[in-house]
């Protein structure tokens, strides 16, 4: 690996603006390119953070030969960038959710495995102290029940911010459970292990008059795990008086109450006093540890430096897509 790690970005929107500044802080790194289908999004990023601007991922990879690539695309836009990285054996970091097309994600996972490529997925909450502590405690006292999700207000699409436009389009984001609550689904997997069954119902018709709105207003999703534990997970984007991000996890002798985007945590136990783990990183600060880990992985060639790789993130995607299938079919989906 060269002295300076060269980084390039595919997708130059909100998440590029969240990850790129970290490369001013991680030493011996250099940004060499930004790509976006909209050139007027890639160019200002290249001017601000360095490198050249492109509109085609493969062209960028050939021109600037990065050591690692960030794939920061809306859920519907995956595929070409990942395959371009695999073909050139360039490790990549992909934001959650890793795709909207499960079959394509499986093909990418297979190609990644066949080529032995290093990857990282953007499940940043796995790097939090609170989450690591819960995972450790739950090894000997497995979780029986988890309840959690994200509740927000009615979306207000703004044409100047693409994410708010594609987010309300079911064919582009997959809906709130797939796009956003994927964070909670991944956390629950991290804490409880693999899922075996998923059943879901949704609410519609509460949000009205929102341009191009085609997503569900709320989701209620039940998940059964191989461990025997169960989870009740939810999403809502039609609650304008109250909401937030929450996850409660209950085991026989300990319990965890995660609150807020920061996932500050209160720990309860039968054999000792309650403990509060506060001051967890907010946004975008919480992204820094996963960027540091990505660079450490690139330098060392050691996949275990990151908390989530493509194959692991695929299992989270499988649960959220199964929830969607359950809604469509009215059936419980076995994984």
**Cβ of residue 219: shortest distance to ligand NAD, in angstroms?**
16
Q: Give the number of other CB atoms < 10 A from CB of residue 271.
A: 6
**Cβ of residue 160: shortest distance to ligand NAD, in angstroms?**
11
d(CA 20, CA 45): 9
| Residue 143 or 186 with smaller CB distance to ligand NAD | 186
Q: Give the number of other CB atoms < 10 A from CB of residue 4.
A: 12
**Cβ of residue 144: shortest distance to ligand NAD, in angstroms?**
28
Q: Give the CA distances from residue 251 to residues 41, 196, 248, 265, in Å, rounded to whole numbers and listed in that order.
A: 47, 19, 10, 15
| Residue 210 or 222 with smaller CB distance to ligand NAD | 210
DSSP run (H or E) holding 243 = none
**Cβ of residue 225: shortest distance to ligand NAD, in angstroms?**
24
| Residue 57 or 229 with smaller CB distance to ligand NAD | 57
Ranked by CB distance to ligand NAD, the top (closest) residue is 13
**Cβ of residue 11: shortest distance to ligand NAD, in angstroms?**
4
| Residue 138 or 247 with smaller CB distance to ligand NAD | 247
Rg (CA), the chain: 20
| Residue 13 or 229 with smaller CB distance to ligand NAD | 13
Give the torsion through C-alpha atoms of 289, 294, 299, 301, to 10 deg. 130
d(CA 242, CA 224): 28
| Residue 138 or 319 with smaller CB distance to ligand NAD | 319
**Cβ of residue 19: shortest distance to ligand NAD, in angstroms?**
9
Give the interface with ligand NAD as residue ranges (CB under 6 A).
Answer: 10-15, 35-38, 41, 72-75, 77, 95-96, 122, 124, 162-163, 179
Cα angle: 61, vertex 64, 67; to 5 degrees: 75
Closest CA to 207 of 219, 216, 199: 216
């Amino acid at each position: 690996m060269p002295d300076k790690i060269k980084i390039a970005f595919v997708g130059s929107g909100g998440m590029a603006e969240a990850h790129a500044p970290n490369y001013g802080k991680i030493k011996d790194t250099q940004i060499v390119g930004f790509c976006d289908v909209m050139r007027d999004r890639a160019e200002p990023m290249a001017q601000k953070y360095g490198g050249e601007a492109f509109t085609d991922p493969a062209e960028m990879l050939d021109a600037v030969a990065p050591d690692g690539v960030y794939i920061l695309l809306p859920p519907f836009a995956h595929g070409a960038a990942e395959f371009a990285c695999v073909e050139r054996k360039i490790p990549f970091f992909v934001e959650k959710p890793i795709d909207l097309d499960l079959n394509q994600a499986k093909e990418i996972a297979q190609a990644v495995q066949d080529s032995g490529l290093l990857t990282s997925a953007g499940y940043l909450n796995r790097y939090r102290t609170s989450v690591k502590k819960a995972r450790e405690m739950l090894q000997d006292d497995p979780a029986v029940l988890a309840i959690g999700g994200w509740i927000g207000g009615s979306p207000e699409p703004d044409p100047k911010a693409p994410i708010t436009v594609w987010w309300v389009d079911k064919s582009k984001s997959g809906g709130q459970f797939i796009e956003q609550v994927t964070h909670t689904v991944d956390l629950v997997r991290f804490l409880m292990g693999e899922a075996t069954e998923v059943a879901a119902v949704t609410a519609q018709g509460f949000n009205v008059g929102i341009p191009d709105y085609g997503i569900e207003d709320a989701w209620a999703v039940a998940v059964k795990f191989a461990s025997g534990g169960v989870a009740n997970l939810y999403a809502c984007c039609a609650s304008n008086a109250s909401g937030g991000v929450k996850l409660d996890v209950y085991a026989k002798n300990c319990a965890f109450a995660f609150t807020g985007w920061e996932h500050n945590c209160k720990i309860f136990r039968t054999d000792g006093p309650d403990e509060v783990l506060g001051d967890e990183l907010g946004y975008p600060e919480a992204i820094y540890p996963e960027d540091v880990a990505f660079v450490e992985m690139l330098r060392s060639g050691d996949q275990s430096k990151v908390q989530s790789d493509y194959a692991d993130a695929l299992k989270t995607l499988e649960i959220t897509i199964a929830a969607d299938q359950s809604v469509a079919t009215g059936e419980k989906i076995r994984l």
